[in-house]
Amino acid sequence: MIDYSYYLLVSFCILLFAISKSGFSGGGLALISVTVLSIAFGPLTAIAVLMPMLLICDVMAAYLNRNNYEHKIIWSLAPYSLLGVIVGMILFKFINLSMISIFIGSISLAYVIFNYLVTNSKIKNIPFYGSKSFWGTLAGFTSFCLHSGGLPMNIYFMSLYKRKVQFVSGLVFSMALINIFKIIPYFYLDILDFEKLIDYLIFSPVAIIGVVLGHWMNSKLSDESFFMIINFFIVVASLRLVYLGVMGI
């Protein structure tokens, strides 16, 4: 007997996830998706379900934003993201994910608050402002362990860009590289296998629709409205991570 509730729940989560992967919501919708899947099926299953969808979303989002990204920025950030993924792979079975959730949620929330409180002339004095080594490594690490690498990556690109097309393109291509870096370690840790990969491809159309929908939603927003939404969802996602971390201790 077909479990329709399973397919409906997973499809809904993947739709939210794919909309977020288009650059809309600053990773907030993705975190909601990961949270729901983790509660329903466990965190490892959530990772296994979303990994093939990540790759499909990355291909679609990269194609839609192919004309707006800056090569030098992406490739200068990539070594730090790879370092974060490697650290995540080494420590994955030993770290306390609850503490990591509290840390990344707190630091992301603090950054957004300081970003609004500090004047433009002093904004570069915010700790780690525009630091590709810090945010890139943190994005790779948290993406590997929690599928929440979008939060630190959003913060890094907000320090660089004030136009949404550049922001979205940088975010999309940087996260695509991180997801490529994660493939072999996920197989190595038995989080993912080819049988699961093929099984979950049934949800591919939902992922494609989500990315296209998110891209369309972005096109309807002004730069100012776009970044207001990004900051709002970063706050929501940060509070959610802190809450989950505290509840998991």
pLDDT digits (tens, 9 = 90+) for 129-172: 778 999 999 999 988 887 778 788 888 888 888 888 888 888 88
pLDDT at residue number 120: 59
Range of the domain at 201: 4-248
Q: For residue 209, what pLDDT band results from cuts at 50, 70 and 90?
A: very high
191 secondary structure, DSSP code: S
As a whole-number percent, the residues of the chain with pLDDT over 70 amount to 91
Predicted TM-score (pTM) of this structure:
0.81
Domain count along the chain: 1
pLDDT at residue number 245: 79
| For residue 25, pLDDT beyond 70 | no
Residue 198's CB: how many other CB atoms inside 10 A?
10
12-25: average pLDDT: 82
Q: For residue 124, what pLDDT band results from cuts at 50, 70 and 90?
A: low
| C-alpha to C-alpha distance for 42 and 35, rounded to whole angstroms | 9
119-124: average pLDDT: 59
